[in-house]
Every structure is written in structure tokens, then in C-alpha cells.
Amino acid sequence: MKTRVTELLGIQYPIFQGGMAWVAEYHLAAAASEAGGLGIIGAGGAPAEFVREQVRKTKELTDKPFGVNVMLMNPEADAIAQMLVEEGVKVVTTGAGNPGKYMKIWKEAGIKVIPVVASVALAKMMERSGVDAVIAEGTESGGHIGSATTMTLVPQVVDAVSIPVIAAGGIADGRGFAASMMLGAEAVQIGTRFLVAKECVVHDNYKQKVLAAKDIDSEVTGLSTGHPVRQIRNKMTREYLKLEKAGATLDELEHLTLGSLRKAVVEGDVVDGTIMAGQIAGMVKKEQTCQEIMEEIMAEAEKLLKI
């Protein structure tokens, strides 16, 4: 299947593996790229030198295109932006902010820049600043989210810009892929289903929570702090929401979540840790290789779209 996105990036399938913080390290990114999609390393809150190693290790495992996601709230975002140029990374996605200040160095280096946007206004601003495509991410996604749904955001962004749009949030199978194409997207980004990929090194306790999750098992914490985060309900979300309702200060809330994603992903603490996952987790029921996931989605979608 060819779209402007497969042509732009030189990939076989218009499927991005979401650059999830702590989760999307080099094994997953290389496997997703080897399977024909776009594998993405999630820089999350990691230091620049750690991400540099991830880039080098990915290159050892695959010759195919891959990307790096820069989480713009990372205090080392400036150093990461520079490192990506030095390492010759070809595709950069960004999240949780406006990447405008890096556009000059990235475009001069020939990098394809694809920011996540959660509104039409930011999509238009990004197009004017010279990005190559945008990822329109709905509130169904896991992690840091905006408020618009994928169903409403994607067609409005498609109408507002002329660059390609990648749909994200709530997509995990061929039906979600086909629906995204109907909304005008030219690729999809998928996170939650890749969380349980065989090549994904997230702790098994985390995988089991995603596999067991039902449709309404996620909560959004941080609506009052301006940093809403979707995650699977557990002791952590119950405590957080109770504190939030009681009017806790930003400091108290931040203290509770400090290092909590790492705790769940690396240590497997799914009680006090943060289990970020999207609303589609209820449909994600089996662990498969990236190759199996990509091929299953494309086969289903091609049948539906009658390609």
C-alpha cells in the first residue's frame, strides 16, 4: 500500500510504532522497522547520551528507516536535538510540545520532521514552520494526551493542512487502520498493541496488565495540572485522583508520579507504578511479533478497503 507517507520515508507499510517513553527502546524500534513499518525509539525523559546509544544499537540491527521521538518536556531536549543531527537520524517525531526551535537544524540536516499535534491550530503552525507531516493524536491514546478524539481531530486536521496526516489514538487493528484512511489519514501510529509485542522489553507484569485490561480500565490523571496522562487504573491512579480531587498542590502530585513510569516498565511494579496505555487496550489480547502485528493489520485493512 502506497501513500505519501510510505513514499516520504521509504517504508513498506504506513504504520508507525509509537515512540513510547522507557518502552520503545532499540529492540522494539528495530523489529518494527524490520517488519516493514517505521520503528521509533522513544527518548522520553532519558539523557542524550543514552538515546545516542539507542540510535547506534538500532542501526546495528536494521538497515531500514527508523525514527526517534523527542519528548519536548525532557530537560535534555536541546542536547537530544543536536545529537540526532550528529548521528544522522533521518526521521524525528516530537511530542508534548512545540518543536519550532529545532526546525532550522533538523531541516538543514535533511531530517524528516513529524510532530504530534493535538489541535488544528498547532497542525497549521507546524505546517507553516516546514514540517513534513503531522501525527494527529486523539485522547484515546496512552500517556500524555490532548482532549480531542481521534474521530474528530483527524478529519479536521486533514482539512486544515496539505501535508500528510498520520492518525493516532485508539488504533490497534485493520478496522482502525481502514477507518483512519477513510478520515483522510495516510498512515497510522500504534502504541498499545506494540507494548505487548514479543520484541518489546517492557516488564511482563506491565504486559499482563495491558492484556487483561477491559474497555473502560484507563483513567486520566493530571487534568488539573495541565499534564493529563492516560494510564491503566491501579493503586497509583486511585491515590492520585483522590489527592487531585482534594486539591493537592502540583508539588505533591509530581512527587507521587516521580519515576513512576520507570517503576512499572523496568521494575514491574504495577501497583505503585504508572501503566500508560490507550483505551484500545481492551482489544489487545495477545502477544505477537512485530511482523505478525503488521501483517495482520495490513491484511485486515486491505480486505476492508478492497485494495
Interaction of residue 140 with ligand TUI, rule CB under 6 A: no
Helix (H) or strand (E) holding 115: strand 112-117
Which residue number, 83 or 229, has a Cβ lying nearer to ligand TUI?
Answer: 229
With CB under 6 A as the rule, give the number of residues binding ligand TUI: 19
Site map for ligand TUI, 202-241, x if CB under 6 A? -------------------------x-x------------
Interaction of residue 261 with ligand TUI, rule CB under 6 A: yes
List 187's β-bridge partners, or say none. 166
Euclidean distance between CA atoms 65 and 72, whole angstroms: 22
Closest to 153 (Cα-Cα) out of 127, 130, 184, 175: 184
Closest to 63 (Cα-Cα) out of 121, 115, 11: 11
* Nearest residue (beta carbon) to ligand TUI: 143
Euclidean distance between CA atoms 261 and 273, whole angstroms: 6
Interaction of residue 137 with ligand TUI, rule CB under 6 A: yes
Interaction of residue 95 with ligand TUI, rule CB under 6 A: yes
Which letter does DSSP use for residue 216 in this model?
A: T
List 31's β-bridge partners, or say none. none
Instruction: Sheet containing 143-144: give its strands across.
Output: 143-144, 229-232, 218-221
* Least spacing, CB of residue 96 vs ligand TUI, in Å: 4
* Least spacing, CB of residue 288 vs ligand TUI, in Å: 23
Q: Report the SS3 class of residue 146.
A: coil
Q: Report the SS3 class of residue 68.
A: strand
Binding range to ligand TUI, per CB under 6 A, among 26-34, 141-149, 277-285, 295-303: 141-149
Which residue number, 144 or 209, has a Cβ lying nearer to ligand TUI?
Answer: 144
List 41's β-bridge partners, or say none. 68
Contact set for ligand TUI, span 96-135 (CB under 6 A): 96-98, 116, 118, 122
Euclidean distance between CA atoms 255 and 248, whole angstroms: 11
Percentages (nearest 5) of helix, strand, coil residues in the chain = 45, 15, 40
Which residue number, 14 or 95, has a Cβ lying nearer to ligand TUI?
Answer: 95
Helix 290-305 with 174-182: angle, nearest 10 deg? 50
* Owner of C-alpha cell 501503566: 275
Binding ligand TUI by CB under 6 A: which of 14, 37, 39, 44?
44
* Least spacing, CB of residue 66 vs ligand TUI, in Å: 18
Binding range to ligand TUI, per CB under 6 A, among 60-68, 81-89, 95-103, 172-180: 95-103
Binding range to ligand TUI, per CB under 6 A, among 76-84, 142-150, 170-178, 244-252: 142-150
* Least spacing, CB of residue 138 vs ligand TUI, in Å: 9
- Give the interface with ligand TUI as residue ranges (CB under 6 A): 21, 44, 71, 95-98, 116, 118, 122, 137, 143-146, 227, 229, 261, 276
